[in-house]
Amino acid sequence: MLTGLDFGTSNSAIGIIKNREAKLVALENNNTYLPSTLYAFDRCFVSEFVFNQLPEQTKGSYKKDRGRSINLAKNTRIHEGFSPHEPLISFGLSAISDYIESPEEGLFVKSPKSFLGATGLSERQIEFFEDIVTAMMINIKNTAESNIKEELSKVVIGRPVNFQGIDSEQSNLQATSILTRAAKRCGYSEVEFLYEPLAAGIDFESKLTEDKTVLVVDIGGGTSDCSMVNMGPSHHSNKDRKQDFLAHSGERVGGNDLDIALAFTELMPLFGKNSLQKKGIEQPHGPFWTSVCINNIGEQTEFNSLEFVKRIERLQRSAEQPELFQRLLNLQKTKLNHRLVRSAELAKIALSDQNKTNVSLDYIEPQLTKLIDTSEFESAVVKPLNSIKQLIEEAITQAGTNPEIIYITGGSAKSPVFRTLVKEIVPKAKILDGDYYGSVAAGLTKWAGKLWS
């Protein structure tokens, strides 16, 4: 069966062609989207999970590459008293729950897509991310096949214009290579890619009754992409859409950056940001950014290092309010920084339809809270919003024309700040909202039907 896979930064979704229509498949708790998260007792159990799911004819070559991890998983099971078949890996909401229950013990991975195009990755790091992606894809594929009672054979996977802003050509090649190898290991016989905003546009186009120039603004968790496309009844049957493709811009900035910016600006003062040293000067901001920048490998490596702990202890000794830095040390020790950014994300979501929200941080300290209102949120996210604004303006400039319709989609596009931003740039265009979580997957699925029908 043909399928479209939106392997997203924040959430993932998958669709199939049924009765000539694209239909999304339920993945968790009857939802058609799944948080892009993984939790494992140890990283070796990720390789073990992948190995156990592979067909027999490919297990040999995989074990040759990952034999050390697979053997470590076997020995760890014996040492820790786990049974041979006890599940030690979870996905989606279950992974988030497992992380919250035991943040210090296991491996928690959120939004691996953010790292796939990172520059300077070692071969071992690339193998690790490949295993993470493969495990998550296997879980999605197995769940979908179990629900529809059919095997998925060919897949179109969505991709951003650029996975990274630095050395984008090499980053894109690295990321798509990882995704391709992962998909092949999952059992897909053919793998194709399609730009995510174009996929969202394909889903929207099926509803148009006349031709229009449409700017698709796809705000994902890790990337934002803008595509100016000629759409409508006279275009949607074309298998090659290059001639309809007027402009494209994209950058590694998205909803996760808003969450991180909000956590940095509004929550980190509870951990010492903006506080003073005994000699009256403000504490450096670097450690607080490192603590919340969960989508950056280098920052997270530093956060988990002994040197980071020593640096915070030095700052604590010089601080007017040393108790704030004790919170930061506890945050590092308990590895709760992902949960802290998750709290900021939930605050962002709450502020989509209310003027203020009270953020509970009782997992850090009893009765610790922070009230955040919409004006504080808007002030905190100015920098990432400006980056997205530049992408929209760049697409319009490339196309040499203003859009008649702006179609906003993507899992992070629900926040009113995006609609306000778009209205400021193109006040006369009609603005329409898509299925925030499902439009890309639906478009990818429709494209799969067009490619292989």
C-alpha 446/C-alpha 442 separation (Å) is 6
Which residues does 217 contact at the CB level (< 8 Å), separation at least 6?
197, 224, 225, 226, 392, 406, 407, 408, 409, 410, 413, 418, 422
- Cα separation of 220 and 428, whole Å? 25
**Quick one: which of 44, 35, 223 has its CA closest to 127?**
44
Q: Who contacts 294 (Cβ-Cβ below 8 Å, separation ≥6)?
A: 110, 256, 260, 300, 337, 338, 341
Is 88 a member of any domain? Answer: yes
One domain for residues 274 and 190:
no
Q: Which of 176, 195, 214 is the last residue of a domain?
A: 195
Residues 294 and 148 in one domain: no
Residues spanned by the domain of 318: 256-382
Three-state secondary structure readout of the chain: CEEEEEECCCEEEEEEEECCEEEECCCECCECCEECEEEECCCHHHHHHHHHHCCHHHHHHHHHHHHHHHHHHHHHHHHHCCCCCCCCEEEHHHHHHHHHHCCCCCEEEECHHHHCCCCCCCHHHHHHHHHHHHHHHHHHHHHHHHHHCCCCCEEEEEECCCCCCCCHHHHHHHHHHHHHHHHHHHCCCEEEEEEHHHHHHHHHHCCCCCCEEEEEEEECCCCEEEEEEEECCCCCCCCCCHHHEEEEEEECCCHHHHHHHHHHHHHHHHHCCCCEECCCCECCCHHHHHHHCCCCHHHHHHHCCHHHHHHHHHHHHHECCHHHHHHHHHHHHHCCHHHHHHHHHHHHHHCCCCCEEEEECCCCCCCCEEEEEHHHHHHHCHHHHHHHHHHHHHHHHHHCCCCCEEEEECCCCCCHHHHHHHHHHCCCCEEEECCCCCHHHHHHHHHHHHHHC
User: In the predicted model, what is the mean pLDDT of residues 383-389?
Assistant: 94
Residue 87 structure tokens: 């599940």
Is 296 within the bounds of a domain? Answer: yes
Check whether residue 64 and residue 178 sit in a common domain: yes
Same domain, 37 and 177: yes
pLDDT of 423 strictly over 80: yes
Q: Is residue 451 included in any domain, yes or no?
A: no
What's the CA gap between 386 and 302, in Å, rounded? 28
Question: Which of 68, 69, 51 minimizes the C-alpha distance to 60?
Answer: 51
Confidence of residue 178 (pLDDT cuts 50, 70, 90): very high
Report residue 166's pLDDT band, with 50, 70 and 90 as the boundaries.
low
Q: Is residue 211 assigned to a domain?
A: no
Decide which of 360, 382, 404 is a domain's last residue: 382
pTM above 0.95, yes or no: no
Are 152 and 52 members of one domain? yes
Are 136 and 15 members of one domain? yes
The answer on 308 and 191 residing in a single domain is no
Predicted confidence band of residue 165 (pLDDT cuts 50, 70, 90): low
pLDDT at 83: 92
Is residue 173 predicted with pLDDT exceeding 80?
Answer: yes
Distance of CA 356 to the CA centre of its chain: 26
| Window from 78-87, 95-104, 348-357, 404-413 with minimum mean pLDDT | 404-413
Over range 111-126, report the average pLDDT. Answer: 88
Same-domain pairing of 304 and 189 = no
**pLDDT tens-place string over residues 232-252:** 988 877 767 778 889 989 888
Residue 425 lies in a domain: no
Rounded distance, CA 205 to CA 42, Å? 45
Same domain, 263 and 375: yes
Together in a domain, 280 and 140? no
Cα-only R_g, the chain: 23
Task: Give the residue with greater pLDDT, 119 vs 43.
Answer: 43
The per-residue pLDDT for 58 is: 86
Asked if the structure places residue 273 within a domain, the reply is: yes
Confidence of residue 157 (pLDDT cuts 50, 70, 90): very high
- CATH number for 24: 3.30.420.40
d(CA 356, CA 353): 9
The answer to the question of residue 161 being in a domain is yes
For CA atoms 64, 66, 70, 76, give the dihedral sign: positive
In a domain? residue 92: yes
| Residue type at 378 in one-letter notation | E
Name the domain boundary from 318, 349, 382: 382
Give residue 360's Cα distance to chain centre. 24
Residues 260 and 163 in one domain: no
How many folded domains does the chain comprise?
A: 2
Q: Which of 36, 55, 20, 22 is nearest to 412 (CA)?
A: 36
Domain co-membership, 148 together with 273: no
167 — pLDDT class (breaks 50, 70, 90): low
